[in-house]
Structure 1
Amino acid sequence: MTTVQIIVPCYNYGRYLRACVNSALSQENVDVKVLIIDDCSSDDTLDMCRQLSSEDHRVDYIHHAVNKGHIATYNEGLALADSDYLVLLSADDLLTPGCLSRATALMNYHPSVGLTYGYPIPVYDATLPLARTEDTGWTIWSGGDWIERMCRAGKNFICCPEVVIRTSIQHRLGGYKASLPHSADMEMWLRAAAISDIGRINGADQAYYRVHNANMHRTVHAGFLYDLRARRDAILSAFENEAGALPDAAAMQDTARRTLALTALRYACQIIDSGRAENEPVDLYREFALDLYPAAANTRQWQGLERRRNGVDGAISTVMARGHAQLREIADKYAWRRWWQTGLY
């Protein structure tokens, strides 16, 4: 039977741990093992680890006497995996019923696929929405094509708990980079795509992704400029590694640079349009765009930002801002629906 190792890093999420682990142990048609790594939690995580491991022989745990941080904790677990496939599952997230059998069936049938993902259901409170468990088919991309699409989008297509990766691919790539605390996962997906194909489960939900104020992207890594810089660093790092060997690596990097630069300029325009210019660093977005993609100075997005900065739009700026906001809302809804259906922005 296909083996899957579930790595569960946990820091002060003991209250979520049982549900997380049970979502893994209840998976059908796969041989599951769970390794919890308690990163020196101050809550009841260690007690819960002991309970869970005593109740089911498939559960093991490691306790850190000193906090090592999330990247080191991830990498410790990944290095220990000896299964066919593995999943890195944060303690506050869960797997949906049947997700592992769906993902491993795809990869068993397509040996060239090194990583599979699907739709992660966001969870905002204690109630879990009903998950779709019947898939409508698979999508397989060549790794290079998937990377090119991510460069065009300038966004990460994946959250994390919905990913199932071949252990052999993970070991070949090594661990996550501590220098990328906010975007090490995005870099990992890009590097995986550089050496394997990418698969997606369509029509079924593959994980529950919990959204709350303690999420790292909402606390220590908050801020859109920080996020843009993290995306830039992930993409450039991937091309410094495995993705740099792709035939169209230079063109894809240029595409990503342009996309991120224009995203920064558009956001700077939004800051001015919404009257937030005194509180948000418009000039830093401008500098980010120009440094990353010097040709940004020749674009209409740059020209629009300069008009706003110089007050050229005058009295019509409020009307224009409302129209732009409405168009952005429509575009954002379309992009989200496309991602929900296809896994791509």
Structure 2
Amino acid sequence: MTGSIMDLISRASIKVTNGRVMARRKLHRLPRVTVVIPCYNYGRYLRQCVASVTQNQPGIDVEVIIVDDKSTDDSLEVALSIQAADDRVRVIRHEQNKGHIATYNDGLDAATGEFVLLLSADDLATPGALTRAAELLTAEPSVGLVYGNAIHFSGDLPASRSEGKEWIVWQGVDWLRDRCRSGYNIAASPEVVMRTSVLRSTGGYRPDLPHAGDFEMWLRTSAVADIGYLVGVDQAYYRQHAVNMNKKDFNAGTARGQFVDLKQRWQCFEVVFAGVGRNLKDRSSLLQIARRTLASQALERVNYAYARGFKGFPSTEFEALATEIWGDVWFSKRGRALARRKKLGMISLPIHPLWAASAIAWRLEDVVRRWRCRRIGI
């Protein structure tokens, strides 16, 4: 093993999760990759988005499908002008606004490529991203989806990494087990390329999970296929701006947003293990791990609110969700800790002196999780 994952922590993490490290292999044929670009009022970003997948993506046959969801700006006009100039691009127009889930599914249903990427019109693929993903997917037929790192940006595009020389491949159930232990999504969408046949076999995005549809899709895929990661490369640019869907529709960064996110992440596990994952040999143990993880995270939010003196935090809702997910959560370490804190009451200090250590540990755990995700994708 050489290059970006030589450090001992990365080696250990890969081993613990049963990942297989292998050398990157070049394409030996010309695969077709469909890029679905859902668009609602993002006309100002659309040309740059399309150019990111039609340029600097060598060795592949690209198909671009723009789905305009009855935009009220100039998105449709821009899309049609792009289509007129490039026969690789076609436009699907909605006669009425259907919302993002239906827009995603309409585009995915129309895809003809062997592999498919869903790329929001305000995001971008990095140079060579489709090529790198296709290399792994053609070399490893068991892999249902492949992803790399996404760069979050605003303003000018930062430089991206493109010279990674290694892949990691997990058996689907091993990758799924790590998600049960973590409880978090590790990929947004623009950095993920799927095998279209796997998508067809498991279905499109679920309308009942508008906030966590991507996460459920990845979990569902891992129940039926292996998962690949491109080490040391950046696969997408994720644009941060005032009207991001997560900020505008799902209150990202607020207590309400945290609650919605936590609840829908739990619902993702529920529907996957009740659906395509119901026949997995380890289904019962995996579901129990997920229960413990998400219920503990709900109480940890309340514990942290007590530690910081956040009197306006909706503790009751988080506690009820934790109990709904796992009835025995109050006998866990976090449940017992919260019971002690509730007896003592919440003190409005920058951080409660008796609980500073646990609050710091919780934050440190989050930092380590994000670091490991960027290094080895899990």
TM range (shorter): over 0.9
Indicate yes or no: 2:177 matched with 1:148.
Answer: yes
Residue matched to 1:288: 321
User: Using the alignment, how far apart are the partners of 2:348 and 2:332 within structure 1?
Assistant: 24
Indicate yes or no: 2:271 matched with 1:237.
Answer: yes
Shift in alpha-carbon separation, 1:312–1:81, aligned structure 2, 3 A: closer
Indicate yes or no: 2:91 matched with 1:61.
Answer: yes
Q: Of 288, 303, 309, which residue of structure 2 is paired with 1:254?
A: 288
Q: Of 242, 261, 265, which residue of structure 1 is paired with 2:299?
A: 265
Deviation of the 1:314 alpha carbon:
7.7
Query: Do the aligned partners of 1:38 and 1:61 also contact (CA within 8 Å) in 2?
Result: yes
Which residue identity is paired with 1:225? F
Residue matched to 1:202: 231
Indicate yes or no: 2:341 matched with 1:308.
Answer: yes
Q: Of 97, 109, 115, which residue of structure 2 is paired with 1:85?
A: 115
Residue matched to 2:9: none
Which residue identity is paired with 2:65? L
Can you list the C-alpha shifts for 1:197-223, whole angstroms capped at 9, x where unaligned? 100100111111112232222222221
User: Using the alignment, how far apart are the partners of 1:146 and 1:247 within structure 2?
Assistant: 15
Deviation of the 1:315 alpha carbon:
11
Deviation of the 1:341 alpha carbon:
0.3
Query: Do the aligned partners of 1:307 and 1:313 also contact (CA within 8 Å) in 2?
Result: no
Query: Do the aligned partners of 2:36 and 2:107 also contact (CA within 8 Å) in 1?
Result: yes
Q: Equivalent residues in 2 for 1:91-170 (5 A)?
A: 91-123=121-153, 125-170=154-199
Indicate yes or no: 2:68 matched with 1:38.
Answer: yes
Instruction: Report the secondary structure of 2:229's partner residue.
Output: strand
**Unaligned runs of at least 5 residues, structure 2:** 1-29, 252-256
Please, what TM-score do these two structures have when normalized by structure 2?
A: 0.87
Query: Do the aligned partners of 2:309 and 2:346 also contact (CA within 8 Å) in 1?
Result: no
Query: Do the aligned partners of 2:69 and 2:94 also contact (CA within 8 Å) in 1?
Result: yes
Shift in alpha-carbon separation, 1:314–1:281, aligned structure 2, 3 A: closer
Aligned positions, number: 342
User: Using the alignment, how far apart are the partners of 1:324 and 1:219 within structure 2?
Assistant: 32
User: Using the alignment, how far apart are the partners of 1:152 and 1:211 within structure 2?
Assistant: 28
Which residue identity is paired with 1:47? E
Query: Do the aligned partners of 2:65 and 2:111 also contact (CA within 8 Å) in 1?
Result: no
Shift in alpha-carbon separation, 1:30–1:314, aligned structure 2, 3 A: closer
Residue matched to 1:220: 249
Can you list the C-alpha shifts for 1:199-252, whole angstroms capped at 9, x where unaligned? 010011111111223222222222111111010111111111111111001110
Shift in alpha-carbon separation, 1:113–1:290, aligned structure 2, 3 A: same
**Percent sequence identity over matched residues?**
39
User: Using the alignment, how far apart are the partners of 1:320 and 1:203 within structure 2?
Assistant: 41
Deviation of the 1:312 alpha carbon:
6.1
**Unaligned runs of at least 5 residues, structure 1:** none
Which residue identity is paired with 2:262? L
Which residue identity is paired with 1:62? I
User: Using the alignment, how far apart are the partners of 1:187 and 1:245 within structure 2?
Assistant: 17
Residue matched to 2:23: none
Shift in alpha-carbon separation, 1:32–1:314, aligned structure 2, 3 A: closer
Please, what TM-score do these two structures have when normalized by structure 1?
A: 0.96
Which residue identity is paired with 2:314? P
